[in-house]
């Protein structure tokens, strides 16, 4: 049994040292999929790799799983170097996007495949297969073949199969991508529960920011082979490090501004409050739609932005109002919740927009992301 969970005692350094990628580069011919990625994934955390397609998140997953080799750099798991090991010798298991279940085997045989490869047989194997099927709630369906299961059930089988060897790390490659929204949300909850129950490090690849936000302890936002930002969902949403991150996670309004001390000078000369470290001169101001307040234009504080409503949309939990301002190149989106949202503001009304300084984040100007 080579690939069961590594006992605590063999971990060198800090007990929380999970996976470490050091200066990992991956090139395919002239294409650079990853440029010098340094990544530290803690033991036991639910870690999300988030980004648009082609950002290098799946490449990162495949590097950890051993399905591709890094062009340069090293990969470490609990203090041991693993980038030189073939996939079947790494204590890492994968849930594939296509599930990759074995169609000629029953559910039990699928789940037990990893044990059979480790020559675990008899009552021990039966007990662990039952345990794994119980974990995903499929005890009753062990004798079916994958073709007789629904998409959600197949997905659960794939999770049970990958967890049965008690890997140090579970890799999940967009495992919910093929399912419809309702089922996806239910399985998100289930996966989080399973993660809490088994305590294994989960590395989860997705392009769906809501999925990442709802499950992850920490998120790594990637773009074009570069790690844009690493942080908790809260940090990434509230304090995005770049315009790309702010745009990719949630909705955001962007304004071209000139920073003068602790105020932002807008295109029409309005001096508005902002918070932002260190940036001087030309910059991008980011305000979330829910941070914008609609105020009476005749009673607006200095620094408020004046404009006209373009359109109001009722979206169930909120009302979205588009406001055309001279200071902004595109209409600004305002989200109204609760009491504010009781009446839809009619179009072409004069309004003013106001925000608190801590809600207006100064980012490096567009085109100069780090």
Partner 1 sequence: MNTVAEPEAPRRRLGPASASYAPFLPAVVLLGGFFLVPLGIIVIYSFWEVIDYNVVHHWTLGNYRYFFSVTAYVKTMWATLWVSVVATAISLGLAFPFAYWLSRYVPRRLRAPLLILVVVPFWTSYLLRVYSWLTILGEKGLLNRFLQWAGITHHPIGLFLYDRSAVILVLVYLYFPFAALTLYSSIERFDWDRLRAAMDLGATPLKAIRRILVPQVRPGIVTAIIFVFIPILGEYLTPQIVGGTGGVMIGNLVVNFFQAAEYTRGAAVSLLIALFILLLLIVFRRSLSAPEAYGG
Collapsing DSSP states into helix, strand and coil, what is residue 177?
coil
- CA distance linking residue 238 with residue 158, whole number of Å: 35
Which of 117, 65, 68, 112 lies closest to 91, judged by CA? 65
By the criterion CB under 8 A, which residues form the site for partner 1?
2-3, 65, 67, 86-88, 92-94, 96-98, 100-105, 113-114, 117-118, 145-150, 152-153, 161-162, 165
Nearest distance, CB of residue 92 and partner 1, angstroms? 8
Element (DSSP H or E) covering residue 197: helix 181-198
Instruction: Give the nearest distance from C-beta 123 to partner 1 in angstroms.
Output: 20
Q: Cα 188–189–190 angle (5° rounding)?
A: 90
Nearer CB in complex with partner 1: 157/327: 157
Cβ at position 24, least distance to partner 1 in Å: 20
Asked if 31 contacts 8 with a C-beta cutoff of 8 angstroms, the reply is no
Least separation, in Å, of the C-beta of 155 and partner 1?
Answer: 12
Closer residue to partner 1 in complex, CB, 153/275: 153
CB of 150 to partner 1, least distance (A): 5
Residue 240: Cβ within 10 Å count = 24
Cβ-based nearer residue to partner 1, 23 or 121: 121
Q: Which is nearer to partner 1, 100 or 294 (CB)?
A: 100
Between 140 and 298, whose beta carbon lies closer to partner 1?
Answer: 140
Q: Which residues pair with 285 in a beta bridge?
A: 255, 362
Taking phi over 0 as left and psi of -120 to 50 as alpha, with beta for the rest, 190 belongs to alpha
CB nearer to partner 1: pick between 62 and 272 = 62
Count other C-beta atoms under 10 Å from residue 184's C-beta. 18
Least separation in angstroms between CB 318 and partner 1: 33
């Amino acid at each position: 049994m080579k690939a069961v969970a590594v006992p605590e005692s063999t971990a060198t350094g800090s007990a929380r040292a999970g996976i470490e990628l050091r200066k990992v580069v991956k090139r395919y011919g002239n294409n650079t999929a990853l440029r010098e990625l340094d990544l530290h994934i803690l033991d036991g955390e639910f870690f999300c790799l988030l980004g648009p397609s082609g950002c290098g998140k799946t490449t990162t997953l495949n590097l950890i799983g051993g399905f591709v080799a890094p062009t340069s750099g090293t990969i470490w798991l609990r203090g041991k170097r693993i980038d030189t090991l073939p996939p079947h010798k790494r204590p890492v298991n994968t849930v594939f996007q296509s599930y990759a279940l074995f169609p000629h085997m029953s559910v039990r045989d699928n789940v037990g495949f990893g044990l059979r490869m480790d020559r675990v047989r008899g009552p021990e194997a039966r007990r662990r297969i039952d345990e794994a099927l119980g974990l995903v709630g499929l005890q009753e369906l062990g004798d079916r073949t994958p073709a007789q299961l629904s998409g959600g059930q197949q997905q659960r089988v794939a999770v049970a199969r990958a967890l049965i060897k008690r890997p140090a790390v579970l890799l999940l490659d967009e495992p919910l991508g093929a399912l419809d929204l309702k089922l996806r949300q239910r399985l998100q909850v289930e996966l989080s529960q399973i993660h809490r129950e088994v305590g294994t490090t989960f590395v989860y690849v997705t392009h769906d920011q809501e999925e990442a936000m709802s499950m992850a302890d920490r998120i790594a936002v990637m773009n074009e082979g570069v790690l844009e930002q690493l942080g908790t969902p809260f940090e990434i949403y509230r304090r995005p490090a770049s315009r790309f991150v702010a745009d990719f996670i949630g909705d955001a309004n962007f304004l071209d501004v000139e920073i003068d001390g602790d105020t932002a000078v807008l295109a029409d000369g309005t001096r508005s409050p902002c918070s932002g470290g260190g940036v001087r001169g030309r910059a991008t101001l980011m305000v979330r739609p829910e941070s914008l307040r609609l105020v009476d234009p005749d009673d607006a504080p200095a620094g408020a932005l004046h404009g006209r409503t373009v359109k109001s949309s009722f979206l169930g939990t909120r009302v979205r109002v588009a406001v055309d301002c001279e200071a902004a190149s595109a209409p600004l989106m305002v989200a109204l919740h609760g009491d504010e949202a009781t009446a839809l503001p009619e179009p072409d009304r004069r309004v003013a927009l106001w925000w608190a300084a801590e809600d207006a984040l100064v980012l490096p100007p567009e085109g100069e992301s780090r």
